[in-house]
Amino acid sequence: MKIDQTRKKASWGTGRVGLMLLTAAIGAALAGCGGPPGAGTAGAADAAGQPDTETITLGLLPSIDAIPFIVAHEQGFDKQQGVNLDIQTFKSAKDRDVAFQAGKVEGLSADLVAISVYNEAGQDVKITSTTFGEFDLLTGNTDVASVSDLKGKTVILSKNTSTEYTMAMMLEQAGLTENEVTITEVPQIPTRLELLKNGKADAAVLPQPFVTMGREAGLAVLGSTRTAKINPFVLAFPQGVIDAKGEAIRGMYAAYDQAVDYMKNHDQSEYIDLIIEEVGYPDTLKDQIEVPEYVPASQADPEQVNSALDWAREKGLLKRDIQAADVMSDVQFK
């Protein structure tokens, strides 16, 4: 089945006001829906004995954390587990959130800062697992050899998001603060890469496949969420969907683990074309793509969650007194 590639253009305000207005609207949109998207079953058991399937609609970004879900669907592991993954991919987090606001996706690849914003707006959105994402900090300035060299320099990212949180944690580890660099708001990821390549900024926080594209263009990697031991990437669902589709969510994770096992036991050449098509790598970089060594799904680390919640409070994005336990679901991991 061809995965639905949703390509919507959304225009929001940036900064705290735009974020809060958006997330406040999510409540009204979800409350006004007659039921969650994909409700019901996809059909009766077939002649071969396949179980009935219940649809779960996922809103994913074209990044490496989406790959196991995509493989799970393309290989039919989801159907084997009694669930149909209706995967919709979006070019930006803002496009994804607009679809979530409209009630067109049930679960979404999100981040810990977004979880803070959703819950500040009164939305009971819960983390069901961590995911295998990655941000890298790139530079084209030959005078910048490490994160500590960014003092007084310009960094481009998307403010009040996990990219800014990632930058803040990397600076802290290097003995710097956010006030010691100039942060410029550039939400569009392709634009960040082009500005960096053209010397219009000293560094930028980027996801794959733009990291590979940047390295191919001669940019250097200063660090990543992996080297900094930061993991803001999660999969999340509203509590109402968790209550209604708990069994299907567990089937989704069983299919995810099957996909992880499949990739471990098959040559990358057997599924690399799918990654190029769905994640958006240029075909010319086929030989440079490094597929991570995925591990079975697991729940987010409460310490990581609390760290992001604390940062969101410092930025004024979160005023509620909530902790990791308040935003984590045990639907899959007890």
CB 79 within 8 A of CB 46: no
CB 67 within 8 A of CB 73: no
pTM of the entire predicted model: 0.81
Cα Rg, the chain, nearest whole Å: 20
What structural domains and CATH numbers belong to the chain?
4-133+232-326 (3.40.190.10), 135-224 (3.40.190.10)
pLDDT of residue 49: 54
CA 174-161-23 angle, 5° bins: 155
CB 109 within 8 A of CB 66: yes
Residues 307, 67: Cα–Cα separation, whole Å: 27
Per-10-residue mean pLDDT for the chain, 334 residues long? 42 41 43 43 47 89 87 96 93 82 92 93 94 93 96 93 94 95 90 94 91 92 93 96 97 98 91 79 75 91 96 94 96 90
CB 201 within 8 A of CB 195: yes
pLDDT of residue 179: 93
pLDDT of residue 51: 60
pLDDT of residue 53: 86
Of 111, 64, 110, nearest in space to 232 by CA = 111
Query: What 3-state class would DSSP assign to 44?
Result: coil
Residues 155, 229: Cα–Cα separation, whole Å: 20
CB 155 within 8 A of CB 141: no
pLDDT of residue 62: 77
pLDDT of residue 50: 57
